[in-house]
Amino acid sequence: MNGGQKKYLVMLFVLLLFLAGCDRDPGKETPPPAKEQVKAEYIVLETRRKMPDFVLPMVQDGTSFSSESLHGRVVLVSFFKLWCRTCVADLTMQQKLQDEYDDDSFLVIGMAVVEDHTDEELELFVEKLGLEYPILVSNEKLREGFGGIAVVPTAFLVDQQGNIVKKYVSHLEQEHLSAEIAALLK
């Protein structure tokens, strides 16, 4: 394979990685992602790492939310951006999923990746979607602690001991996610 072919393959790979995430044009109408677009990366036991520690204010009321309060729970940490249509669909599905658990065994945490939005815009976004689970504004250090966020939506499933056990890039399916949560709760 010559240098030109390698460059072409690298560019094609980067393009496919870019397309795996959310639609990059906020003004473009797009249908919800097809089931074939679901991608999940399983993190092998030997490479599992602890979820990073954090204390961040909740968008809903400004109170501090600490990762220490998550001990003993299965947690889905979901990174999103406000303009991402796939993220909106996932956040709404995650609220329905959270509503299925009336005990403290499972919790969804939304992590906004916000560069150019005001607090008021974020508050209106959360209110409009009716999100009741904690929504926090992530920072670069936290995103790096999770291994980096290349595209949104990206979500991480964390076990009761605080280990990241799965990473999901792109759209999530509720049935698949429910089964994985149930397996961790056994």
Residue 178 identity (one-letter amino acid): S
Residues 118 and 181: beta-carbon distance below 8 Å: no
- 52-88: per-residue pLDDT in tens? 999 999 999 999 999 999 999 999 999 999 999 999 9
- 105-124: per-residue pLDDT in tens? 999 999 999 877 888 999 99
Nearest to 85 by CA among 178, 15, 21, 148: 21
Residues 6+ apart with CB under 8 A from 32: 85, 86, 89, 171
Q: Which pLDDT score is estimated for 100?
A: 93
Between CA 34 and CA 6 the distance in angstroms is 30
Query: Does the structure show a pLDDT above 50 at 36?
Result: no
Query: Global pTM?
Result: 0.78
Domain topology for 37-185: Glutaredoxin (3.40.30)
Q: Which pLDDT score is estimated for 162?
A: 96
* Mean pLDDT value of segment 44-57: 85
- 4-28: per-residue pLDDT in tens? 655 544 444 434 444 445 544 344 3
Q: Which pLDDT score is estimated for 118?
A: 86
Residues 17 and 37: beta-carbon distance below 8 Å: no
* Mean pLDDT value of segment 151-159: 95
